[in-house]
Amino acid sequence: MTIAEIMAKMIRMADGNIHDIDHFIRVWTYAKTIGELEHLDAATQFILEAAAITHDIAYPLCRKKYGNINGKLQEKEGVVLVESFFADTDCTREQIERVKYLVGHHHTLKEIDGLDYQILIEADYIANVLEKGYSKKNIENFMKVFVRTKAGKQLMNDVFKKTLDPDGCR
């Protein structure tokens, strides 16, 4: 399965929900960019991009089942949905398991165990700032505490240039 096929399948699954589609496309774009700038190997880049596209696969289910899209509920329900999403594909068991892990932890900011995980956290945060309008203090704190990649730091400084101090949070 190609990244384009994963994207097309997720767009179909979103059933016309423009907000959801826009969000995962933005997370994927930031993740792809950071991953390439960090020179991930092709296998890790594929897993990162697949996880970025499917990271919020549980949005519709959580809305229906719980009435909200709480991050921990997304993580819990997302693991099962990712398994079925990739069941009929040529993705390896190893790829599916890593994507499931990333989707099942994309709101967990501790014990980050790989560059793919780190980049997914950074990319999702950037997209969420744009949607939720986090404060300058929140952005600066996130950058100081959680952003670990050089490309993620630079991208966040560039994206939030007008929000941050003149020198950013390097």
Give the range of the structural domain holding residue 21, as residue numbers without chain letter: 3-117
Residue 146 belongs to a domain: no
Residue 90 belongs to a domain: yes
- pLDDT tens track for 121-133: 999 999 999 888 8
Residue 48 in contact with residue 60, Cβ under 8 Å? Answer: no
Residue 61 belongs to a domain: yes
Instruction: Return d(Cα 106, Cα 6) in angstroms, integer.
Output: 18
- Say how many domains are in the chain: 1
pLDDT over 80 (residue 166): no
53 closest CA partner among 88, 78, 89, 73 = 78
pTM: 0.92
Q: What is the CATH number of the domain that holds 59?
A: 1.10.472
104 closest CA partner among 43, 67, 57 = 57
What 80-83 contacts at long range (C-beta under 8 Å, 24+ apart), as own/partner pairs, is 81/54, 81/57, 82/54, 82/57
Which pLDDT value is given to residue 139? 92
Which pLDDT value is given to residue 167? 56
The pLDDT confidence band at residue 163, using thresholds 50, 70 and 90, is confident
Amino acid at 88: D
Residue 49 belongs to a domain: yes
- pLDDT tens track for 100-111: 999 999 988 999
- pLDDT tens track for 79-104: 999 999 999 899 999 999 999 999 99
Which pLDDT value is given to residue 24? 97
Mean residue pLDDT across the chain: 92
Residue 123 belongs to a domain: no
Which pLDDT value is given to residue 165? 65
Residue 30 belongs to a domain: yes
Question: What mean pLDDT do residues 31-46 have?
Answer: 98
Cβ-in-10-Å burial (0-12, 13-18, 19+) of 80 comes to: middle
Residue 47 belongs to a domain: yes
Residue 159 belongs to a domain: no
Which pLDDT value is given to residue 55? 96
pLDDT over 60 (residue 73): yes
Which pLDDT value is given to residue 47? 98
Which pLDDT value is given to residue 14? 92
Crossing angle between the packed helical segments 115-132 and 150-159, to the nearest 10 degrees:
10
Which pLDDT value is given to residue 148? 96
pLDDT over 80 (residue 51): yes
